[in-house]
Structure 1
Amino acid sequence: MKLLVVDECGYTRLGIASYLADNAANTVTGCDTLSAAVQHLSSDNPSHILLNLTHYCRPNLDNPWLQTLIDSSNNAVLFIYLDAPYPYGDRPMRIADNAFLFNKAALPKALRILRDTPHSLMENSLHSLFSPQELTVMKHWMAEVPNYRIARKLQISSHTVYVHKRHITEKINARNRLEFYSLYNILRYFYPPDAPAVRMAG
């Protein structure tokens, strides 16, 4: 396994490298910024990338380095973690074809997976956390379109829109709308608002 660790904390990078050092087949490269990570992609060709994206949950602006990293990592498995209590759960949650998301408290379990069975979570190559209609509801929801207008656009009831919103929040293991808003700042890189909702449902 060739692992690229992206975390601004040097102690975290060192701890991860030390944990995986027992296996001579593992190589671990660490960097503290997304721009440095992008530069490592072509030279190191990592099979797995471990990313701390805590700071990217807050701004609602596109980060070109993060977009480039994601777009250039189709052949790698992304493990994204956040220094937050959400998404709730004790193991990585698959959010897209090659991406998993988890809170930092689940990092020890994620590291055990990377050490022992790094490919165990990739059962299918195509995966979407949301149905096409949920993706459409999410796009309008994040654009602050009222429920009744979303219902009219999709020719469904306002109650169905509400149910979709609840299911979307539950699927990402968030407990309320504010937590989902934070997580959406990561999700939108995998489910761009301007992309057609035609991904495989899984």
Structure 2
Amino acid sequence: MYKILIIDRCSFTRLGLEAWLQQINGGSTSFLVTPLNSLLLAKAHIESWQPHLVIADFAAFQHDLQQSHFLPALLAVCEQRSRLIRLQSEPLTFKNVGEEVAKNAPIEKLERRILAVLHSWPKAHPARIATPLLTRQEEKVLSLWMEGASNQAIASEMQITGKTVYTYKRNIRVKLKVENRFSPFIPSAECVE
């Protein structure tokens, strides 16, 4: 079983790729797929989950000041631990890591590229049951937090208490190994080129 991580800001692309991969899952190759829309969360997933393949469209992240500073560190982790297929609609401003497939390429071309990259790996070991790094609630809190929502706004949106938001944020920081509550928003030295 191959583990595949999909990174894209567009929920339609993430869900579409996940559904499509599950559909072709019945063939000789089986996939365990996780879709994400946060570079910080994606970097942590690659480090802990170690997917065989990362399929990503970084275009929207490059222009987002809160996300773009995570891109170099994410690419470095991909280079060390995983294979990467970049869905490109525009040139990547950071170093070009992995293989490139045009975002508007026919789905058959993407399927051939995915299978070629996966089959170039040594024989895939059976994947252990992988638990998500963050719960769905924590992912929602992280998403709202990175959009700049206050604790009260997050609590109102999710219909939980402010204290629960604080607890979720603390758990997120521990799981993602960030030092303080501002770390997800401040470029670290390793992320700045």
Q: TM-score, normalised by structure 2?
A: 0.48
Instruction: Please state which structure has a larger fraction of its residues in helix.
Output: 2
